[in-house]
């Protein structure tokens, strides 16, 4: 009951304007002037600034209003009991709106991908607003561009036994899912996006997105499923999708499927038995180009003046093995000519980070370490090359900055990074270090780091459409908005 009332109040705050029948002003400037004048009037009630817009000359006729309802304190609660927004086209100065959903139960990948897409969409259209729904606990550590903002959903974490739990609230996971479901539905009802882009999980975490997909479909919003270039080994993915009913959800709700990569690397729906009508919705966008952020050099980690290699594990939750391997290489070979800048990632265990810090300090200034830098693009752009695990976002950054790279992929719990790294090596885009094939001795990593100085950059391979992702996404979104405007 408490959750319902809170959700209703959130909706009421945004929807009271939608119930008026006053003429819509000719321009946003006129509306702002009228609103400013209304706010100066003395009013009473729980939401005085909003109720001012519902002055007597702007209220609907009493015959059109629902019966009055009272709450426990005897106050008029009718406005707070509104359950659905009116069509958004009655709002003055209505903008095109996109909502991105990112479940974010682990790592940084989903949030960073959504943020990149959101910034590109907002930059392409001055009349577009983009809202990101994310469960990432570090969302507040990122900058968001003008006309882009985010709603932080209560977090969930994956336990060592494979089960999920609430990250901070201390409530049962099912209660957490119910809360997230209600917040997502409320954000959709209030924001009324024209387009929803869902990152990877078609139905959301444990189906939390289904009520929102149903509501959005009814009002005619465009629904897009965004998939990274590689999901997992087809056999494992087929079993997972069958358990979740993912293909059924895709077939029922989604208008388009955007694969953020090129088919030369992977065709993620291959081998899943997807019906032809689903395959017809697939568009390979190319990878998402990243730009070096325009900010003061004093912001973020200051790179060393000498040539260096950037070592990054992404979120860092599963990156300890890579950091250990790189530090062992520097401990083994005192003549490696490149300084190492190591980013642990915000999710690396504190005890592991402390151990690595002790080892780095003993290397007499040959290694610089940091937990996290949200502007990693600048560090990569100024480096000689990179050593990484090969997650999607890091791979995009390597391609965008056109840097030679050594990729040491993880192989569990998913084979995604191994599949991507093997394909990249086959195309000449990066070098892969795979322990079962190459060995795991310190000298193996030391040789690979030394080789970065002569390794060819990705651009030398001439793969067509490799970095066209954001241009393709902006173009397809614009086409969808144009089609809606003609209806």
Q: Could you please report the per-residue DSSP string of 287-337? A: ----------TTSSPPPPSS-EEEEE-TT-TT-HHHHHHHHHHHHH-TT--
User: Do 100 and 78 fall into the same domain?
Assistant: no
**pLDDT score recorded for residue 67:** 40
C-alpha–C-alpha distance, residues 315 and 367, integer Å: 20
| 388 domain residue, yes or no | yes
Record the tokens describing residue 137, joined without a space.
């606990």
What span, in angstroms and rounded, lies between the C-alpha atoms of 11 and 402?
46
Q: Do 277 and 335 share a domain, yes or no?
A: no
Q: What DSSP string runs through 330-378? A: HHH-TT--SEEEEE--TTS-HHHHHHHHHHHHTTTTSEEEES--TTHHH
Q: How many domains does the chain have?
A: 3
477 occurs within a structural domain? yes
Name every residue whose Cβ is closer than 8 Å to that of residue 150 and which is 6 or more positions away in sequence: 131, 132, 133, 134, 139, 144
Question: What is the CA 371 to chain-centroid distance, rounded?
Answer: 20
Alpha helices in 67-221 (DSSP H): 109-124, 173-191, 210-218
Q: Is 90 inside a domain boundary? A: no
Q: How far is CA 101 from the centre of its chain?
A: 7
pLDDT at position 88: 55
What are the structure tokens assigned to 38, written together?
């209304």
CATH code where residue 177 lies? 3.40.50.2000
In a shared domain, residues 316 and 420: yes
d(CA 36, CA 33): 5
Q: Is 421 a domain residue?
A: yes
Class of residue 335 by CB neighbours under 10 A (exposed 0-12, middle 13-18, buried 19+)? exposed
Q: What is the pTM of this model?
A: 0.79
pLDDT for the residue numbered 39: 38
> Is 124 in the same domain as 259?
yes
Please indicate, yes or no, whether residues 267 and 131 belong to a single structural domain of this protein: yes
What three-state secondary structure class fits 38? helix
Contact 278/247 with Cβ under 8 angstroms?
Answer: yes
Q: Spell out, as residue ranges, where the chain has pLDDT lower than 70.
A: 1-94, 104-108, 160, 162, 293-300, 374
Q: Which of 60, 82, 104 is the last residue of a domain?
A: 82
Rounded Cα–Cα distance for residues 337 and 366 (Å): 9
278 and 381 belong to one structural domain: no
Q: Looking at the domain assignment, is residue 395 inside a domain?
A: yes
Instruction: Please state, in angstroms and rounded to a whole number, the distance separating the CA atoms of residues 166 and 176.
Output: 6
Q: Give how far Cα 385 sits from Cα of 261, 319, 380, 431, 448, Å.
A: 22, 18, 7, 11, 11
pLDDT of residue 315: 82
Residues 240 and 367 in one domain: no
| Omega before 413 within 30 of 0, i.e. cis | yes
Task: Return d(Cα 308, Cα 340) in angstroms, integer.
Answer: 5
Q: What is the pLDDT, as a whole number, of residue 72?
A: 39
DSSP state of 373: -
pLDDT tens-digit readout, 160-216:
676 888 988 999 999 999 999 999 999 999 999 999 999 999 999 999 999 999 999
Residue 7 forms part of a structural domain? yes
Evaluate whether residue 301 is within a structural domain: no
What the block records as the tokens of 311 is 């070592």
Q: Is 331 exposed, middle or buried (0-12, 13-18, 19+ CB in 10 A)?
A: middle
| 60, 102: one domain | no
Shared-domain flag, residues 343 and 392: yes
How high is the pLDDT of residue 159? 77
For residue 156, give the H/E element and its range.
strand 156-158
- Chain-centroid distance, C-alpha 143: 13
Please report, for residues 163, 165, 174, the alpha-carbon distance to residue 169 in angstroms, rounded to integers and kept in the order given: 16, 9, 12
pLDDT attached to residue 292: 80
Which helix (H) or strand (E) segment holds residue 469: the answer is helix 469-485
Among 82, 104, 130, give the residue marking a domain's end. Answer: 82
N-term to C-term CA, the chain: 40
Q: Is residue 91 assigned to a domain? A: no
Cα–Cα nearest to 380, from 359, 402, 358, 365: 402
Q: Which residues partner with 257 through β-bridges?
A: 225, 282
Do 231 and 121 belong to one domain? yes
* Predicted pLDDT at 299: 60
Residues 145, 117: Cα–Cα separation, whole Å: 11
Q: Of the candidates 82, 104, 119, which is a domain's last residue?
A: 82
pLDDT of residue 181: 97
Domain hosting 406: range is 308-461
Do 110 and 51 share a domain, yes or no?
no
234 and 370 in a single domain? The answer is: no
Distance CA 239, CA 235 (A): 7
Distance CA 406, CA 385 (A): 8
């Amino acid at each position: 009951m408490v959750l319902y009332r809170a959700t209703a109040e959130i909706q009421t705050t945004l929807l009271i304007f939608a119930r008026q029948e006053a003429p819509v002003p000719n321009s946003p400037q006129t509306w702002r002037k009228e609103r400013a004048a209304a706010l100066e009037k003395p009013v009473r009630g729980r939401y005085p600034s909003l109720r001012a817009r519902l002055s007597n000359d702007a209220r609907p006729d009493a015959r059109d209003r629902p019966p009055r309802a009272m709450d426990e304190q005897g106050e008029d609660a009718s406005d707070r009991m509104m359950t659905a927004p009116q069509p958004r086209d009655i709002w003055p100065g209505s903008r095109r709106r996109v909502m991105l959903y990112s479940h974010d139960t682990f790592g940084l990948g989903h949030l960073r991908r959504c943020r990149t897409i959101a910034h590109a969409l907002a930059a392409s259209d001055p009349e577009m607003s983009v809202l990101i729904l994310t469960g990432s606990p570090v969302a507040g550590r990122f900058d968001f561009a003008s006309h882009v903002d985010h709603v932080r959903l209560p977090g969930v974490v994956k336990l060592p036994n494979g089960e999920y739990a609430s990250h901070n609230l201390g409530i049962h996971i099912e209660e957490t899912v119910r809360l997230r479901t209600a917040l997502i539905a409320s954000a959709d009802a209030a924001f009324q996006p024209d387009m929803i882009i869902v990152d990877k999980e078609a139905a959301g975490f444990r189906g939390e997105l289904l009520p929102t997909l149903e509501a959005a479909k009814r009002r005619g919003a465009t629904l897009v499923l965004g998939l990274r270039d590689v999901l997992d080994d087809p056999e494992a993915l087929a079993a997972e999708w069958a358990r979740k009913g993912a293909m059924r959800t895709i077939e029922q709700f989604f208008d388009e499927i955007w694969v953020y990569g090129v088919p030369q690397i992977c065709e993620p729906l291959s081998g899943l038995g997807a019906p032809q009508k689903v395959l017809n919705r697939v568009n390979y966008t190319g990878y998402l180009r990243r730009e070096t952020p325009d900010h003061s050099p004093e912001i973020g980690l200051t790179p060393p003046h000498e040539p260096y290699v950037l070592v990054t594990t992404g979120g860092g939750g599963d990156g300890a093995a890579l950091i250990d391997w790189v530090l062992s290489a520097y401990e083994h070979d005192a003549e490696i000519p490149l300084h190492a800048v190591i980013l642990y990632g915000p999710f690396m265990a504190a005890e592991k980070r402390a151990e690595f810090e002790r080892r780095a300090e003993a290397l007499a200034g040959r290694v610089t370490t940091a937990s996290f830098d949200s502007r990693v693009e600048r560090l990569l752009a100024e480096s000689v090359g990179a050593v990484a695990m090969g997650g999607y976002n890091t791979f995009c950054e390597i391609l965008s900055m056109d840097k030679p790279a050594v990729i040491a992929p993880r192989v569990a719990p998913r084979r995604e990074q191994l599949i991507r790294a093997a394909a990249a090596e086959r195309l000449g885009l990066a070098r892969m270090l795979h322990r079962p094939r190459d060995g795991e001795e310190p000298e193996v990593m030391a040789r690979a780091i030394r080789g970065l100085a002569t390794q060819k950059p990705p651009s030398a391979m001439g793969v067509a459409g490799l970095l066209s992702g954001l241009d393709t996404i902006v173009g397809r979104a614009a086409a969808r908005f144009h089609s809606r405007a003609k209806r």
